[in-house]
Structure 1
Amino acid sequence: MKKTTIAFIALFCFYLSVKAADRPKITDTITVKRIDTLLYDSLMHQLANGDKTGRWPVKNTPKPLPGALLPFNRIVAYYGNMYSKNMGVLGQYPPKIMLAKLKAEVKVWEKADTTTPVIPALHYICVTAQADAGSNGLHNLRMPFKQIDSVIHMARSIHAIIFLDVQNGFSTVQTEIPRLEKYLQMPDVHLGIDPEFSMKEGSVPGKRIGTLDAEDINYVNKYLADLVKKYNLPPKIFIIHRFTQRMVTNYQKIKLHPEVQFVMDMDGWGGTSLKQGTYRQIVAREPVQFTGFKLFYKNDIKKDTHRMLTPKEILQLKPRPIYIQYQ
């Protein structure tokens, strides 16, 4: 093994030995300047968590470029919209309270898995699906840029990264994503898309679950990869939310790029057994690259017999999610 490899692993192990409270913030966290493939493969194997199906870790995926955040860190995100208290925790509380709650949740995950640094994130729905067709006829509402600016400012105040989330409605990813290019040029801004509200068949959002095909996802993957190359950016993270098989079709045709880190996020709310089963049936059975898991502060406990899954329980999943989202 080369001396540089040994030195990198030693440095990484030293980083992990430092108490979470004493670790540097996101501006100093593990942003890899040179990808050590042995370390990367080891971490991916750890995420597989003893999976015996042969699906995880996913074979023949591209190694990330320098600056990649995954799998060297876990991301814990707050999701929502600043204009709605019902769409997620991000918009439910005044900013100072919301950010304090997020930082507390980060500490919980740091304690649950002391081997993986945790990065906070704000996952902001910047295009919301609408039951009404609206002035553009597309059944979506695009948030004003000044609102996106305010979310980015809030995130940076706690050294968090940002995800801009898109609910297409009757529009398409080919129309909506380029509108966000001035933000996606920023190294700390990443992307999420919710197929639930991609209404290709003409149904009103909320009346039927929408869908995205691998062709749509491949467009976005290439778009992001081209941005990374054009502006010399660190790799982008691309989140797709999913809780039914139909929400993502032809998953095996999804094309990955070293410039983009792809996360299939298990969406959907309910009891612990239901959520674990959905993860196994929908996400773990159709591997792409990384996985995520969404928790609902309200909907996961709607019934008296229900409770939220704990970090310990989520870390027992095969594979282990590297992206955690709270709504």
Structure 2
Amino acid sequence: MKKHIVVVLSLSVLTLLSSCNQGKAADEKVEIEKVKTASVDTVKKKAVSTIDTVDYNKRMIALSNDTTGRWPVKTPYPLPGAILPYNRIIAFYGNLYSTRMGVLGEYPRAVMIEKLKGEVAKWNAADPTVKAIPAFHYIAVTAQGAPGKDNMHRMRMPFKQIDTVIKWAKPIDALVFLDIQVGHSTVKKEVSELVEYLKLPNVHLGIDPEFSMKNGEIPGKKIGTFDAADLNDAIDIMAKVVRENNLPPKVFVIHRFTQGMVTNYKNIKTLPEVQVVMHMDGFGSKVLKKSTYLTYIKREPVQFTGFKLFYKNDNWNDWKIYEPEELLKLTPRPSYIQFQ
């Protein structure tokens, strides 16, 4: 929707009584032209830094699938180029060093990519109103049972591995998420190490509270936690990268499957530069997964939502993996679907 902005400049009537006053009038004319130029420049800048808010609101209402007023969440409008709610992200999760951490590292590259394309096609068929796009969600920092040289209980993957994933993403125009398991480290330290990658327009961030051990426990022995303050550290870093590099908004995925994994959710920042996805990360039966989604994701709204599907752990005994048509009935409808 175009807005017409009219700049009105009022001038006092000058009585030209002398050459001195004529000089004054000339000076004022110059100043007026400066104001006009500045005003036009301001209008131009505003024009390129806004989105179609009517369209955005309609999409958010449709995505919310809710009549209670809880969804959609009222947040600042995103910068132009935002991925959500215009797209639905279909991501394969994993690590190239492990065939057990997720589908991303389980199959040969060509097989994995074709499998991902198939999932994207299924979602586009199920919901043509929101374009499904592919993504690789790569665990760039993994929690460790052993303390390591710096006693942080985490291992940073070599940059060459991240470069490989980014290279794989390019031919299929896929997004790349770098996922962080901090162990005994901090969000600020680990995200700061990845800033150069976050400067790339298609690189985004994921973070896993499960492996944030606040009291010195060994990762994997207890479910960890992040407070809103921890998450805001990541949001602040990403927002700064977006502003300084004139980028479209970053997507920030936060894994969650218990109440205690995220505390003080109401204090999580929502900014035009960052789109926050609270992602349901549990596995099990359909009943259990839906209950987790409704209890921890729907009831504590932040901005957007995600839903994780496990090819193996959700397909066990009499359990069956969710189909797109089933997930589209959820309130709210997830914007991010991750396969492990």
TM-score (norm 2): 0.85
Pick one of 42, 65, 68 that aligns with 2:58. Answer: 42
Mapping for residues 198-237 of structure 1, pairs under 5 Å: 198-237=212-251
Identity across matched positions, percent: 60
Pick one of 326, 329, 340 that aligns with 1:316. Answer: 329
Pick one of 168, 181, 185 that aligns with 1:154. Answer: 168
Q: Deviations over 1:182-204 (max 9, x none)?
A: 10010000000000001112111
Mapping for residues 200-279 of structure 1, pairs under 5 Å: 200-279=214-293
Report the Cα distance in structure 2 between the residues aligned to 1:129 and 1:3, rounded to whole angstroms.
Answer: 51
Q: Deviations over 1:143-178 (max 9, x none)?
A: 000010000000112110100000000111011000
The alpha carbon displacement at 1:66 in A equals 0.5
Report the Cα distance in structure 1 between the residues aligned to 2:49 and 2:91, rounded to whole angstroms.
Answer: 24
Aligned-residue CA RMSD (Å): 1.4
Pick one of 38, 49, 54 that aligns with 2:69. Answer: 54
Report the Cα distance in structure 1 between the residues aligned to 2:170 and 2:299, rounded to whole angstroms.
Answer: 36
1:99 is aligned to 113
Structure 1 position 170 matched with structure 2 position 184: yes
- Where 1:301 maps in the other structure, the secondary structure is coil
Amino acid at match of 1:260: V
Report the Cα distance in structure 2 between the residues aligned to 1:136 and 1:102, rounded to whole angstroms.
Answer: 37
CA contact (8 A) 1:269 1:300 kept: yes
Mapping for residues 114-125 of structure 1, pairs under 5 Å: 114-125=128-139
Report the Cα distance in structure 1 between the residues aligned to 2:236 and 2:155, rounded to whole angstroms.
Answer: 25
- Where 1:96 maps in the other structure, the secondary structure is helix
Q: Where in structure 1 do 4 or more consecutive aligned residues deviate above 6 Å?
A: none
The alpha carbon displacement at 1:325 in A equals 0.4
- Structure number with greater Rg is 2
**What are structure 1's unaligned runs of at least 5 residues?**
5-31
CA contact (8 A) 1:33 1:67 kept: no
2:123 is aligned to 109
Report the Cα distance in structure 2 between the residues aligned to 1:267 and 1:66, rounded to whole angstroms.
Answer: 29
Report the Cα distance in structure 1 between the residues aligned to 2:182 and 2:131, rounded to whole angstroms.
Answer: 33
Amino acid at match of 2:178: L
Matched positions, count:
297
Report the Cα distance in structure 2 between the residues aligned to 1:76 and 1:321, rounded to whole angstroms.
Answer: 11
1:65 is aligned to 79
Amino acid at match of 1:237: V
Structure 1 position 182 matched with structure 2 position 196: yes
- Where 2:271 maps in the other structure, the secondary structure is coil
Amino acid at match of 2:64: A
Report the Cα distance in structure 1 between the residues aligned to 2:190 and 2:232, rounded to whole angstroms.
Answer: 15
The alpha carbon displacement at 1:33 in A equals 7.9
2:297 is aligned to 283
TM-score (norm 1): 0.89
The alpha carbon displacement at 1:53 in A equals 2.9
